[in-house]
Amino acid sequence: MFRHFGRKKLFAMLLALLLLSLCMSTMLLRSASAASTLAQAGAQSGRTIGVAVEANLLGNNPYTTIAQTQFDGVTPGNEMKWQTTEPSQGTFNFGPADTIVSFAQSHSMKIRGHTLVWHSQLAGWVNNITTSSALLSAMNNHITTEVTHFKGSIWYWDVVNEAFNEDGTRRSDVFQNVIGNSYIEDAFQTAHAADPNAKLCYNDFNLEDMNSAKSQAVFAMVSDFKNRGVPIDCVGFQSHFIVGQVPADFQATLQKFANLGLDVQITELDDRMPTPASSANLNQQAVDYATVAKDCLAVSRCNDITIWGVGEPDSWVPGTFSGQGQALLYDQNYQPKSAYTSFLNALAGTTVTPTPTPTNTPTPTSTPTSGSSCSVHYVISNQWNTGFTTTVNITNTGSTAINGWTLVFNFPNGQTLQQSPWNGSFTQSGSTVTITNLSYNATLPPGGSLSSPPGFNANWSGTNSPPSAFTLNGSACTVI
């Protein structure tokens, strides 16, 4: 009888323990998914989440707001390339790159230096050098001067970029043709001598599938470097993907290179598709971004994922691949796409099935609201059988002034703006309404509301629900 009572007690205790551990794991899952930025989500597992930026796009705009709030890493898109930094021999220009370095440092972002030796965006004079000694001297001087200029600021350098062909042979460029195979290790030695604390990467595209001839050739080179003590710390996998084509063995490839004693980084991630984008492709893209995040998280030496741009307007893809685009996490209006949400969730270690996204419809609702620094009160002050009048009250709930703002929301029921809205510059594209400040109501002081809030008349039929989400300069606002 006593033994029977004891067993019951034991069973009850075990049940209680099970329930407790279930509760705790749910709480942990909740806290893991509570990250409100990509940087916060990546930081939960010690990963840096970076973005490529261009100096001439930085300013008071959604692009910059997103770069500085969502990411904790920066790669200059073009400004550290030879064409810009040494346009004529011995004349150096670090101005554009310095702009990005200052931007990154003022927001505590790590900096990937990109790139010291590359056949493209190379200053023309380099291609005219015909002797090995002269080119080696020019290359080493370029590397030493640039690495020294940025000494102490750069986390990882892409020392040599894209030196291989798809078939695994060396690319025929001036460095290969005039100096020969040894130029790559010379470049690493020189960079290391100039800044022994900077980590040094070889960076390339189409390395992600270990079965490709190029991936195997790069693997052979870097394992030889490791064996011979050439100072290499990392391999950068550019990861310019086509939607639905993230290689199934990407995680295994990252691990294979990491096993050499190297860090592995995803350095230029994007995922392009034909435009206008279909909802099926946007959904697949959300899966792809989550897959890449999981692949990196599964490899302890994968410590960085850098996205190659903020949103569609600044992406290199539409200008290079005609009829393709939508490769990034933010759309043409700098609104987060479903890929943003699924990438964020995957970084935070939660598995969420992406919500289908209608074609070309931005999804402001997908931005997490915690941590937002604005609130919006959408007031319908008058409504009649076909029309209504609205005032959109905007409050800056943050602690710094907002100078210049763009508010974006979606009409949920097919509402359409009428002519002559007030206190803002308005556009409507599909269901998306974008309102930008006028000169007299550009500033929102900390804790303050617009004294001249934007307003409009619009048409409706059937239902006239208010928008459920708003973003101000790319960040989600609390809806009140």
Q: Is residue 63 involved in binding ligand G3I (CB under 6 A)?
A: no
Min separation Cβ 79 and ligand G3I, Å: 9
Q: Is residue 316 involved in binding ligand G3I (CB under 6 A)?
A: yes
The torsion of the CA quartet 376, 379, 380, 382, rounded to 10 degrees, works out to -150
User: What is the number of residues in the chain?
Assistant: 480
Question: For residue 135, what is the enclosing H or E element?
Answer: helix 132-149
C-beta of residue 130 within 8 angstroms of C-beta of residue 178 = yes
Enumerate residues 6+ apart whose C-beta is below 8 A from 46.
303
Of 162, 185, 208, 312, which one is the catalytic site residue?
162
Question: For residue 428, what is the enclosing H or E element?
Answer: strand 425-429
Please name the residue that has the structure tokens 């995803």.
266
Q: Is residue 120 involved in binding ligand G3I (CB under 6 A)?
A: yes
Instruction: Give SS3 for 142.
Output: helix
Residue with nearest beta carbon to ligand G3I: 316
Min separation Cβ 269 and ligand G3I, Å: 11
Min separation Cβ 340 and ligand G3I, Å: 20
Cβ nearer to ligand G3I, comparing 238 with 265: 238
Cβ nearer to ligand G3I, comparing 122 with 352: 122
Cβ nearer to ligand G3I, comparing 21 with 56: 56
Which residue among 77, 354, 453, 466 contacts ligand G3I (CB under 6 A)? 77
Cβ nearer to ligand G3I, comparing 34 with 57: 57
Q: Closest Cα partner for 474 from 334, 274, 295, 299?
A: 334
CA count, 13 A, side-chain hemisphere, 360: 8
Min separation Cβ 323 and ligand G3I, Å: 17
* Local structure of residue 25 (DSSP, 8 states): H
Q: Is residue 95 involved in binding ligand G3I (CB under 6 A)?
A: no
Question: For residue 40, what is the enclosing H or E element?
Answer: helix 38-43
Q: 268 catalytic, yes or no?
A: yes
Cβ nearer to ligand G3I, comparing 268 with 312: 268
The size of the interface with ligand G3I (CB under 6 A), counted in residues, is 9
Q: What residues between 20 and 59 interact with ligand G3I by CB under 6 A?
A: 54
Count CB neighbours of 451 within 10 A: 9
How far apart (Å, rounded) are the C-alpha atoms in residues 317 and 240?
Answer: 9
Q: Is residue 268 involved in binding ligand G3I (CB under 6 A)?
A: yes
Q: Is residue 78 involved in binding ligand G3I (CB under 6 A)?
A: yes
C-beta of residue 143 within 8 angstroms of C-beta of residue 194 = yes
Count CB neighbours of 399 within 10 A: 8
Of 54, 79, 86, 268, which one is the catalytic site residue?
268
Q: Is residue 400 involved in binding ligand G3I (CB under 6 A)?
A: no
C-beta of residue 336 within 8 angstroms of C-beta of residue 345 = no
Q: What residues between 179 and 238 interact with ligand G3I by CB under 6 A?
A: 238
Cβ nearer to ligand G3I, comparing 238 with 395: 238
Residues designated catalytic = 162, 268
| Positions in the binding site for ligand G3I (CB under 6 A) | 54, 77-78, 120-121, 161, 238, 268, 316
